[in-house]
């Protein structure tokens, strides 16, 4: 599948599996799951024709592993990042000592004074790799990388979970656990 179509399909799937399932007339089930055939039919009714093979290729090739099939392969969901109420059930986990968050300069003063908040999401998203944080920040401009003292946060009683695609999640990051990296 050509790269532009892959990007377009990924964006549309993200929209409907993470933020606006009602826009195509579907409801996500427990855990954010929806039957593949129901999803494909709803997308087709709304002008986006996609074959099962294209969907499988999109899931397999997505560099951020945004989507996952269930064990049967009959249902699909977004791995994380929902703004609609979905309980994904990622397990509580002990984080690595340091985690990273990518942002841009214009948000930095607010973040350093208020900490990281989930904003429209359910949780703050953190990465284990500095390079990932750079890519995330670069989506909005010149990236700024924040280092999170996850070990100290955990010791202070903050809970961390890790999604199926390796994104670290927490309710918020207070400013005392943040440091700008160069």
Is the same domain home to 46 and 102? no
Report how many domains make up the chain: 2
- What is the domain-level CATH number for residue 173? 3.20.170.30
Task: List the beta bridge partners of residue 170.
Answer: 124
Rounded Cα distance, 6 and 12, in Å: 10
**pLDDT averaged over every residue in the chain:** 90
Q: Is there a single domain that holds both residue 38 and residue 103?
A: no
107 in the same domain as 52:
no
Which residue matches tokens 């855990």?
31
Cβ contacts of residue 64 below 8 Å, gap of 6+?
A: 165
| DSSP β-ladder status, 143-149 and 98-104 | antiparallel
Q: What is the mean pLDDT of residues 82-88?
A: 70
Give a yes or no: residue 46 inside a domain.
yes
- Is the confidence at residue 81, as pLDDT, over 70? no
Q: How confident is the model at residue 164 (pLDDT cuts 50, 70, 90)?
A: confident
- Exposure of 176 by Cβ count < 10 A (0-12 exposed, 13-18 middle, 19+ buried)? exposed
Q: Which residue range(s) make up the domain with 72?
A: 3-78
Q: What is the pLDDT of residues 19-66, one digit of tens each?
A: 899 999 999 988 889 999 999 999 999 998 999 999 999 999 887 788
- Residue 84: inside a domain: no
The CATH number of residue 42's host domain is 1.10.10.970
The closest of 136, 140, 118 to 128, measured between CA atoms, is 136
- State the average pLDDT over residues 92-107: 95
């Amino acid at each position: 599948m050509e790269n532009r179509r892959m990007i377009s399909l990924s964006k549309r799937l993200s929209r409907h599996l993470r933020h606006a399932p009602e826009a195509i007339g579907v409801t996500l089930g427990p855990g954010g799951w929806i039957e593949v055939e129901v999803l494909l039919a709803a997308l087709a009714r709304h002008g986006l024709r996609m074959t099962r093979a294209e969907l499988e290729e999109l899931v397999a090739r997505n560099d951020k592993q945004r989507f996952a099939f269930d064990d049967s392969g009959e249902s699909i969901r977004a791995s994380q990042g929902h703004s609609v109420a979905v309980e994904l059930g990622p397990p509580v986990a002990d984080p690595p000592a340091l985690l990273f968050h990518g942002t841009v300069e214009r948000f930095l003063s607010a973040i350093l004074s208020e900490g990281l908040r989930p904003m429209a999401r359910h949780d703050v998203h953190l990465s284990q790799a500095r390079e990932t944080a750079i890519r995330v920040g670069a989506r909005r401009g010149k990236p700024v990388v924040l280092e999170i003292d996850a070990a100290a946060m955990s010791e202070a009683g903050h809970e961390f979970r890790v999604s199926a695609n390796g994104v670290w999640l927490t309710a918020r990051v207070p400013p005392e656990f943040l440091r700008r990296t160069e």
